[in-house]
Amino acid sequence: MYLTLLNGTGYVFDLDDYMELRMKYRIVGALVGTANSKGWSSSEAALPVELTKCETQLLIDEGLAILVSKAACLMKSPTPEILQEYQEDFAARLMAQADALKAEKLRETERHVDKILSGKRNKLLKQGKSDEAAALMPQSVIQEVANNFEFDHQNALVELPCPHLDKHTAQLWTTPICDRDSLKYRVFRDLWSRGKFVTCGDAFGADFLIYPGDPLLYHASHIVIIQSSPAIRPLELISKVRLSVIANKNCVFAYEAAEGKTVVYQTVAWCNPSK
């Protein structure tokens, strides 16, 4: 599969590719797109998926994905023919959005047509137009809404397509995304190779979070903190372990063995002496 290089890391635009990464290879990433039918929401995101640098480099090293850059093609000035084709496609997508919004508005009108009809009839009766009030029918109310519907392009939602819709070329990206010899990448790759779901741990002040299964179904069981050496200051040790206790997770320190490049893990648990 192909990963698109953006902001220094890999992005996934295809739904099938993302589901394969998540279900088969335990790569989670982060949904950063906007659902064009709902607008932006901090709790509901859509494609594309932004991968961490460790995830991107892992997929490349394992031969599971190819990283490509589309910047040269997508940023060059379009020809008049390509520009006209894009403008026609953009107008068609706006029209489809207007049709969807109009259909939704008509459905809402049909759902509440009795209340709307009652209000309009009462208004006509107060004006002394009893004949018009008696002749007012639900279909005429719905038709009036349809005739008065206007779609302002300033209120159109920005559509983020999944795979790029337009014709384009891509260049193979061969420069490493992150240092393969760094301790952080080696820890991530080692934990992943053990069959774990490993995600970014910034939210808990850690380097990684470890999940026993898909994060949609399970809470993280461990937080992983990378140390440059086995030595750690007492106050830092207490703060990290207490944080893991508050979050109901086990605290794991990862560091490099003195005799080589072997990664060593040390789990620290908070002990209550009163029990």
pLDDT at residue 40, as a whole number:
61
Rounded CA separation 49/64 (Å): 16
pLDDT at residue 273, as a whole number:
60
Catalytic: 86? no
pLDDT at residue 44, as a whole number:
75
Convert 64-87 to b/e letters by CB count within 10 Å (16 or more is b).
ebebbebeeeeeeeeeeeeeeeee
DSSP state of 49: E
pLDDT at residue 39, as a whole number:
60
Separation in Å, CA 32 to CA 10, 64, 111, 153, 182: 12, 22, 34, 24, 27
Give the residue from 173, 164, 184, 183 showing the smallest Cα distance to 52: 184
pLDDT at residue 199, as a whole number:
97
Of 53, 196, 240, 249, which is the active-site residue? 249
Rounded CA separation 127/120 (Å): 11
Catalytic: 18? no
Backbone angles phi, psi at 47, to 5 degrees: -60, 150
Of 105, 112, 219, 265, which is the active-site residue? 219
Rounded CA separation 199/231 (Å): 25
Catalytic: 219? yes
Of 211, 222, 240, 255, which is the active-site residue? 211
Tokens 């061969």: give the residue.
174
pLDDT at residue 166, as a whole number:
63
Would you tell me how many other CB atoms lie within 10 Å of the CB of residue 46? 17
The total number of residues written for the chain in this structure: 275
- Kindly compute the dihedral angle of the four CA atoms of residues 72, 77, 82, 85, in this order, to the nearest 10 degrees: 100
pLDDT at residue 30, as a whole number:
94
pLDDT at residue 134, as a whole number:
87
pLDDT digits (tens, 9 = 90+) for 67-83: 999 888 878 888 899 88
| Structural domains for the chain | 1-76 (3.40.1170), 80-151 (no CATH), 180-274 (3.40.1350.10)
Task: Kindly give the parts of the chain with pLDDT less than 50.
Answer: none
